[in-house]
Amino acid sequence: MMMCMRTLFKSFAIVAASLLVLSILTTVTLAAGGTSQGPGNSGQMGMMGKSGGDSSGLMSQGGGMMNQMQEKERMRQMIGETARLGLFGGFNQTGPLFEGRFLSFLVNETSGSLTNYTVATSGGSEMLFAGIGLKDFVPGNVSTMGSLFVEEDSSVSIVVHDNPVALLHVSSNRSMEGVNFTLGPGMSAVILPRSGNDTNTSFALVSGTGVQGVLTAKNGTLLSESSAVGSVTILANASDVMFRMKPALARGHMALDDAVQNAITNGQVAGEFSLTVRNGSAMYDLMQYRMGFGLKVQQAEENHLRLEVSSSEHAGKVVIVNLDQGTFDTRTGNDMIITLDGNGIRQTQNPLDVLSASGSQDSEAVYCITNTDHGSQMLVYIPSFSTHVLDLSSVSPLASVLSIAGLLAVLGAMVAVGAAASLLLRRKG
């Protein structure tokens, strides 16, 4: 009996020592990797500035700089991947024609106006706007970066995103700016009543075959005019004008797309961020829906994303994050860990709980994850704004067990089992 007990205690000692060594190694590994800076600190963050916070570009992980040719090739590959996944694409230019995966248009070099603004739908291409023009606009720089097209003069910027919602954003340093939207064939528009939550903003519902979107004039007005030949023009008079349509190419759930569109119109959503990570590089697309909203990427890698979010508006807002399955593994069985300033937040299975949230306490932060065609969409409600750090990670069950907490739990269980076995053997003896 004494020999059995010695053998048993030796076995437990070996197991405990092995677990302790593994725990130390894991701690060292985490400490070494925890301070590494992600692409947001060293990579190319693209067009901020006049575009009002909208941005897009390639972020390269640390560990070697790419030359200009390598970077362009890497961007081309990443744009192809993000377009294939339906997150966003990138523009190709042929003379005045700019073509993307989700939309295309022509640019008039003299006036700077956009014509034949055509979007991709499940039933084919539809000309959404025959023309988009600005009064007193003197076209200067025209540039593209990733999914973004930017045209600007000294006072005004026109930003277009090649993505499923075909976002168009016009912002001006002047207090009021006249922007004309002439509808394409078969398109119609209805000026909506002002929202009860935002009485200074005007909205117009634009719709046609396979297309439904909202034109927004923040702190301004919208008027509809019909010409003698039957064309309809929406006159937007505001310093900030935005058009966003519901994703025409299926990305998720139609009911959720409707709810998200309504929440953006009502001012509940501050911004939307889409990301794809492959082989140490990250390609992103950021859309700003509220003035003063800011977002910076602190770290982006497979199954881990850390964002700094801020807003000049103190009231709580929702942030949307779109990720493909290769970037974030959200399959059933994996643990999702989402924290706000290092504190865990509540999860709900109903996205409407997030879109309708209105609490102001930190404890009222809430998030929801829904599956899309190729990945997931995360809605996160942040109760009050200044500057926060939002951290998202996906951890497999095995990784959870091999974490420090998991190792300590296993070690504790082994010690408990060992004590119980020792007690049992003593009783038998």
Tens of pLDDT, residues 370-426: 887 778 899 999 998 889 999 999 876 444 444 444 444 444 544 444 544 454 445
Long-range contacts of 117-125 (CB under 8 A, 24+ apart): 117/168, 117/184, 118/184, 119/166, 119/211, 119/245, 119/248, 120/248, 120/249, 121/209, 121/210, 121/211, 121/248, 121/249, 122/210, 122/248, 122/249, 122/250, 123/209, 123/210, 124/210
Taking CA atoms, 370 is separated from 1, 136, 334, 367, in Å, by 58, 44, 14, 10
Whole-number pLDDT of residue 138: 85
Provide the residue type at 76 as one letter: R
Distance CA(409)–CA(308), nearest Å, equals 32
CA–CA separation, 43 vs 146, rounded Å? 14
* Confidence bin at 332 (pLDDT 50/70/90): low
Q: What is the pLDDT at residue 205?
A: 94
Average pLDDT over residues 286-313: 91
Give me the pLDDT at residue 97, please. Answer: 97
Q: Quick one: angle between helices 404-428 and 2-34, nearest 10?
A: 170
Higher model confidence: residue 134 or residue 72?
A: 134
pLDDT at 229: 80
Q: CATH 2.70.98.10 spans which residues of the chain?
A: 91-250
Name the pTM for this structure.
0.79
Task: List beta partners, residue 317.
Answer: 382
Closest C-alpha to 176, from 109, 129, 221, 228: 221
Per-residue burial over 75-93, b = 16 or more CB atoms within 10 Å of its CB, e = otherwise: beebbebbbebbbbbbbee
In this structure, of 11-15, 112-116, 266-270, the range with the lowest mean pLDDT score is 11-15
> How far, in Å, CA of 90 to CA of 149, rounded?
9
Burial 205-242 (b: 16+ CB within 10 A, else e): ebbbebbebbbbbbebebeeeeeeeeebbbebbbbbbb
Say what the pLDDT of residue 53 is: 78
Which residue, 39, 55, 27, 57, is CA-closest to 305?
39
For residue 429, what pLDDT is reported? Answer: 53
Q: Is 46 a residue whose pLDDT tops 50? A: no
- Distance CA(52)–CA(290), nearest Å, equals 9
**Is the pLDDT at 428 greater than 60, yes or no?**
no
pLDDT at 200: 77
Give the pLDDT of residue 194.
Answer: 67
pLDDT reported for residue 17: 45
| Contacts of residue 424, Cβ cutoff 8 Å, sequence gap at least 6 | none
**91-250 CATH:** 2.70.98.10
Whether the pLDDT of residue 351 is over 90: the answer is yes
Average of per-residue pLDDT values in the chain: 80
pLDDT tens, residue by residue, 225-282: 998 788 899 999 999 999 999 987 755 566 788 899 999 988 899 999 999 998 888 9
Kindly report, residue by residue over 54-84, the tens digit of the pLDDT.
999 887 655 455 677 878 888 888 999 998 8
What is the pLDDT, as a whole number, of residue 48?
37
